[in-house]
Amino acid sequence: MSWTRGRVFRRARKGKELSSGGDLEIEIAIPTHFRCPVTLEMMKDPVTVSTGITYDRDSIEKWIESGNRTCPVTKMELTSFEMIPNHSIRRMIQDWCVEHRSYGIERIPTPRIPVTPYEVIDTCTKILSAAQHGDENKCVELVRKIKAWGKESERNKRCIVVNGAALALANAFNIFSRGVVEKNVVVLDEILGALTWMRPLSEDGRSVLGSVSSIGCMVWFMNGKQLATRQNAALLLKEMRVEALLKCEGVFEALVNMVKEPVGSASSKACLSTIFKLVNSSGSNRGVACGRFVELGLVSLLLELLVDAEKGVCEKALGVLDCLCDSKQGVELAKSNALTLPVVIKKLLRVSELSSSFAVSVLWKVCYKTEEEVLIEALQIGVFHKLLVLLQVGCAEGTKEKATELLKLLNGCRSKAECVDSSLDFKHLKKPF
């Protein structure tokens, strides 16, 4: 058992095997001066602040980042935020861990020296210089250096992001994207991988990456064969503004292709979020986006995706489908697809409150001013009972209004429909909110 999970360890009596009757339960107490005064856990990276008190680096950094400017123990104001590694305490902790390793206590590793703001800023300056001079190899070396720092600790990641690395990398990406992508593919791929964990980007970062060349490069990667790179490109594309996406050719096709051939859950959700942003935009942009996605066959793709989609994917897919049904062509395609009613009705009360609200909206658009046969089919699948339960468990005001209108619409056809007993659908129903 690791020291992080408890202080009670079992050890066999001398000359006896471990057994339920022959164990000695020994409590190993961690020395008080090995514990961080903030978390009371054994310190992994003890550092001393200006008041002379030693804390675990991670906990005191979080304390300061939360806006505190005093020492948690002495309550005195910190005259400096410099943290000096306490090597003596750290070696004592390591020796104690080794001494008690027979109890399952693991020796804490010697912590790496964290990256400093100066190192980050200096490296970012060199990255920009290398990019401006077209030195791909030097830029790759420096970007990998930043990625290596980020892998060492969350503290390093925070330091890298806070000191402007994302904007520097965005500028470098934009510069290299202006050339032949195939020629600069290595450096562009490296930058792409680093930028994904620096999200969300600042407004300046989004603006820089919103160029036609940068978005075109992301689209190029999304259409490639490397799964990790395709996912990184999809995650970064999600950060872009609607106006910038609409200016670039191939964006709609790349997004639909990623939905059709998903790389993973993260990329599917990223693509659906980007699509939703486009089809839910204002003005003429909304109509252009909806029309283009409908032409590319997204309605049927979404319905197929919804059959066994996980919660996050399901919510986003239903949201996009709801927006597509605002267009005449979109709703007609939804009405003509045999999966629409069974799949959408199935998602009611099964996923989340958000999914149910989207599902009700889709059903309202499909069933409004439609043939009687569609209403009868919906009744046979059990939508009437589900809508009643939805109103009972509670929902948003807009969803309640649409559900009520649907019930009135469906009620006129109940006598003509041989409704199946849908009570079994609610056997294991749990209120999702």
The answer to whether the CB of 382 falls within 8 A of the CB of 423 is no
Domain boundaries, the chain: 3-103, 338-433
Closest CA to 86 of 127, 57, 128: 57
**Mean pLDDT, range 128-136, rounded to an integer:** 96
Which class for 51: exposed (0-12), middle (13-18), buried (19 or more C-beta within 10 A)?
Answer: middle
- Our measurement of the distance from residue 384's CA atom to the centroid of its chain's CA atoms, rounded to an integer in Å, reads 35
| Residue 169 contacts residue 198 (beta carbons within 8 Å) | yes
On whether the CB atoms of residues 234 and 196 are closer than 8 A, the answer is: no
**Residue 11 pLDDT more than 50?**
no
pLDDT digits (tens, 9 = 90+) for 376-424: 888 888 899 999 999 998 888 999 999 999 999 888 777 776 644 444 3
Residue 357 DSSP SS3: helix
Q: Which DSSP letter does residue 217 get? A: H
CATH 3.30.40.10 fits 3-103, yes or no: yes
Confidence category of residue 372, pLDDT binned at 50, 70, 90: confident
Question: Full-prediction pTM beyond 0.85?
Answer: no
The alpha carbon of 414 is separated from its chain's Cα centroid by a whole number of angstroms, namely: 44
Closest CA to 57 of 47, 72, 71, 67: 47
- Looking at residue 91, its pLDDT comes to 94
Q: Would you state the pLDDT for residue 26? A: 62
pLDDT tens for each residue of 220-266: 999 999 999 999 999 999 999 999 999 999 999 999 999 998 888 89
The average confidence (pLDDT) of the chain is 87
- Triad 51, 57, 61: Cα angle to 5°: 80
Q: What is the pLDDT of residues 135-190, one digit of tens each?
A: 999 999 999 999 999 998 888 999 999 999 999 999 999 999 998 888 999 999 99
- Model pLDDT, residue 419: 45
Q: Which residue has the higher pLDDT, 121 or 3?
A: 121
Cα gap 303→295, rounded to integer Å: 15
Question: Where is average pLDDT lowest: 14-18, 122-126, 367-371?
Answer: 14-18
Which residue, 208, 149, 144, is CA-closest to 173? 208
Separation between Cα atoms, residue 245 and residue 232, nearest integer Å: 17
For residues 149 and 165, give the distance between their C-alpha atoms in angstroms, rounded to a whole number: 12
Task: Express each pLDDT in 306-344 by its tens digit.
Answer: 998 899 999 999 999 999 999 999 999 999 999 999 999
With a cut of 70, say whether residue 269 has pLDDT above it: yes
- d(C-alpha 42, C-alpha 34), whole Å: 6
CA distance 252 to 273: 13
**Cis status of the peptide bond prior to 200, with omega within 30 of 0:** yes
Task: Give the list of residues 6+ apart from residue 99 with CB closer than 8 angstroms, or none.
Answer: none
Which letter does DSSP use for residue 70 in this model? B
Query: Residue 208 CB: number of other CB atoms within 10 A?
Result: 21
DSSP state string for 391-424: HHH---HHHHHHHHHHHHHHHTTGGGS-----GG
Question: Which helix (H) or strand (E) is 234 found in, with range?
Answer: helix 227-237
Q: Does residue 159 contact residue 116 with C-beta atoms inside 8 Å?
A: yes
Residue 310 CB burial class (10 angstroms; 0-12, 13-18, ≥19)? exposed
Q: Residue 23 burial (CB < 10 Å; 0-12/13-18/19+)?
A: middle
Q: What is the distance between the alpha carbons of residues 276 and 316, in angstroms, rounded to a whole number?
A: 7
295-303 contacts at long range (C-beta below 8 A, 24 or more positions apart): 296/252, 296/253, 296/256, 297/256, 298/256, 298/259, 298/324, 299/324, 299/330, 299/333, 299/334, 299/337, 300/333, 300/337, 300/339, 301/256, 301/259, 301/260, 302/259, 303/334, 303/337, 303/339, 303/340, 303/343
pLDDT per position as a tens digit, 16-25:
333 344 444 5
The continuous run of DSSP H or E covering 288 comes out as helix 284-295
